[in-house]
A = this chain, B = another copy of it.
Amino acid sequence: MEYKIALMPGDGIGPEIIKEARKVLDATAKVYGHTFSYEELLLGGASIDAYGEPLTEETIAKAKSADAVLMGAVGADAKTSPWYRLSPEKRPEAGLLKLRKELKLFANLRPAYLYEALKDACPVKEQFYQTGIDLMIVRELTGGLYFGERKTVVENGIAKAVDTLTYDEKEIRRIAKKAFETAVKRKKKVTSVDKANVLDSSRLWRKITEEVAADYPEVTLEHMLVDNCAMQLICNPEQFDVILTENMFGDILSDEASMLTGSIGMLPSASLNETSFGLYEPSHGSAPDIAGKGIANPIAAILSAAMLLRYSFSMEEEAKAIENAVNAVLNEGYRTSDIMSENMKKVSTGEMGDLIIEKI
């Protein structure tokens, strides 16, 4: 069977890391006898430069007709880039947000896994986790403050801005199900994070999550306030298996959790809809400061490709092969500069890609 993958390298380090991920996909296809065809599409700043907008209708249509999307990163330095002189809905990030919405990618899976070899690079002391860090954040991706009505008005000469946080029970139910299904295949624990002592949306979140939990008796459900979770991630990350949360809290907590793994340059993500279709992207941004230097860490993009194989193509074995290859290369002491530590071997973006390919 032939699979069609839409590639959206995007901006900054996006093209460099997507190049490596594609190399890894090709190597995997060769070993396992698959055929992957690619179509490159523009997103974010790259699309603004070409078409004047961060995401065109044609790109959306082409993405939809692919079997999965692999994305790099979007955006640039907001202070210096001309893209940020455009109105907010014309900026690079708006393209990504629109794409998530158009493709109905409501479920964002962000694993935070600390490789044994990277313990040195993890800022948290070993005594605070002992056996290891291995958690999965399931973030709602098409609701909440990100997609609520917003406006800025001037009333009696005073500017006032409003954003709206809305969730309905359907939105909560489908993401909660995704979290429980994920937990069933893992350590069977869901920590649902909210701010139920303040927000109505969080109270509904809690109620619906409990309803969904009733269908998964083998999974333990725990509720945690978002402020407490921000603490617990640092002082006791081991307690977590699956963290279920809404869009904005998920944005903040997943970036925080990423730090536990040594570098956000390590972290893949999957954004899924109700079908097997998905968009896969590193959790990191476009890192304009290091773009074009060949020093970016391609591992997050490569692991995103592994997630693509797992979730969209049901190729568990192939996904594992990539993850094992990454593990093996790290164990041999190869590091890009973001995860470099004493006595390790520093390699470039392309070298890291090559080393990983050799192990597949």
Query: Chain A: residues with CB nearer than 8 A to chain B?
Result: 75, 78, 88, 91, 93, 97, 123-125, 128, 145-146, 148, 150-152, 155, 158-170, 195-201, 203-205, 208, 223, 226-228, 230-231, 233-235, 248-249, 251-256, 258-260, 264
Which residues of chain B come closer than 8 Å to A163, judged between CB atoms?
Answer: 164-166, 199-201
Interface contact B150-A158, CB-CB below 8 Å: no
Q: Is the beta-carbon distance between B168 and A158 smaller than 8 angstroms?
A: yes
Assembly CA distance A165 to B254 (angstroms): 22
Cross-interface CB contact of A234 among B93, B164, B197, B256, cutoff 8 Å: B256
Q: Are A166 and B170 in contact (CB under 8 A)?
A: no
Q: Which residues of B are found within 8 Å of A253, using beta-carbon distances? A: 230
User: Is the beta-carbon distance between B201 and A161 smaller than 8 angstroms?
Assistant: yes
User: Is A162 a contact partner of B158 (Cβ separation < 8 A)?
Assistant: no
Contact, CB under 8 Å: A168 / B159: yes
CB neighbours of A264 from chain B (8 A): 231
Contact of A200 (CB < 8 Å), options: B150, B223, B233:
B150
Q: A160-B167, A169-B159, A251-B227 are in contact. Are A234 and B200 (CB under 8 A)?
A: no
Q: Is the CB of A170 within 8 A of B198?
A: no
Indicate whether A197 sits within 8 Å of B93 (C-beta atoms), given known contacts A234-B256, A253-B230, A255-B227.
Answer: yes
- How far, in Å, is A35 (CB) from chain B's closest CB? 37
User: Contacts A160-B166, A226-B252, A252-B227 hold; do A123 and B235 have CB atoms under 8 A apart?
Assistant: yes
The one of B123, B150, B201 in contact with A128, judged by C-beta atoms closer than 8 angstroms, is: B123
Q: Given A123-B235, A150-B199: A161 and B204 within 8 A (CB)? A: yes
User: In the bound complex, how far is the Cα of B195 from the Cα of A167, in angstroms?
Assistant: 19
Using Cβ atoms and an 8 Å threshold, which residues of chain B touch A233? 256
* A88 cross-chain contacts in B, Cβ below 8 A: 200, 203
Asked if A198 and B97 sit within 8 Å, CB to CB, the answer is: yes
A152 x B204 contact (CB < 8 A): yes
Q: Is the CB of B197 within 8 A of A75?
A: yes
CB distance from A332 to the nearest CB of B (A): 24
Nearest-neighbour CB distance to chain B for A5, whole angstroms, equals: 27
B164 contacts A162, C-beta separation under 8 Å? yes
Query: Which residues of the partner chain B approach A251 to less than 8 Å between Cβ atoms?
Result: 195, 226-227
Let me know if B252 and A235 touch, CB within 8 A. Answer: no
Pair A256/B255 contact, Cβ less than 8 Å = no
Which single residue of chain B is at the shortest CB-CB distance from A152? Answer: B200
In the complex the two chains form, what is the Cα distance from A231 to B167 in whole Å?
27
A270 to B124, CA, bound (A): 29
A234 contacts B252, C-beta separation under 8 Å: no
* Cβ contact within 8 Å between A203 and B161: yes
Across-interface contacts of A223 in B (CB, < 8 A)? 78
Q: Which residue of B lies closest to A263 (CB)?
A: B235
> Can you pick out 27 interface pairs between chain A and chain B where the beta carbons lie within 8 Å of each other?
A75-B197, A78-B223, A88-B203, A123-B234, A123-B235, A124-B124, A124-B125, A124-B234, A145-B195, A150-B201, A158-B169, A159-B168, A159-B169, A160-B167, A161-B203, A161-B205, A162-B166, A163-B164, A163-B165, A163-B166, A163-B199, A164-B164, A228-B255, A230-B253, A231-B259, A235-B259, A252-B252
